[in-house]
Amino acid sequence: MNLGYGLITGIFFGIFLQKAQVLRYDKQVGAMRFLDMTIFKFMLSSIIVSAIGIYLLKDLGLIKLSVKGTSIGAQLLGGSLFGIGWGLLGYCPGTAVGAVGEGRIDALWGILGMLCGAALYAEAYPFMKAKIISLGNYGKLTLPQILDVSHWLVIVVFALIVLAMFYLFEKKKV
């Protein structure tokens, strides 16, 4: 049952990604070079819509959120490494899989590399846990918690910032 839902959800997501052209190296590296903001348009629209829907479900008591822990060390180093790797590969893990579906053979090499990176991380994990993940570890934190405001205020302000960005993208035709 769960497996079937996973497959169907993935198929729809793959179609949306392909139709928006966000599976392409040229679009992803184009965004990093501030030449083409297609992936930001896709990603930020998706985040706004799902943030509203998911917090609505939470307020109605229909779902529980599972917030990831905040570790400054892990997210600073991990995020930087991810950025370097993403820039070199030109696909993130999910879009690499989708890009193969579109016929992009270079993404296959990226996937092989990712499997090696995953195996390497499993080996490095005890060290990372002791030395990196422990740096600035604040546990489960959310922005509304830190600011002590309603999550809807954070969502509205975030949505306004994103809309301003969209306006800028369209004005600059990127």
Q: 139 φ, ψ to 5°?
A: 70, -155
* Residues with Cβ within 8 Å of residue 44, at least 6 apart in sequence: 162, 165, 166
To the nearest whole angstrom, how small is the minimum distance from the Cβ of residue 168 to other proteins? 14
Q: Which is nearer to other proteins, 46 or 148 (CB)?
A: 46
Give, as one character, the DSSP assignment of residue 140: E
| Tokens at 7, concatenated | 């497959």
To the nearest whole angstrom, how small is the minimum distance from the Cβ of residue 128 to other proteins? 6
Q: Which is nearer to other proteins, 103 or 148 (CB)?
A: 103
Judged on CB neighbours under 10 Å (0-12, 13-18, 19+), 98 is buried
SS3 138: strand
Q: Which is nearer to other proteins, 148 or 151 (CB)?
A: 151
Q: Which is nearer to other proteins, 79 or 157 (CB)?
A: 79
To the nearest whole angstrom, how small is the minimum distance from the Cβ of residue 1 to other proteins? 9
To the nearest whole angstrom, how small is the minimum distance from the Cβ of residue 152 to other proteins? 16
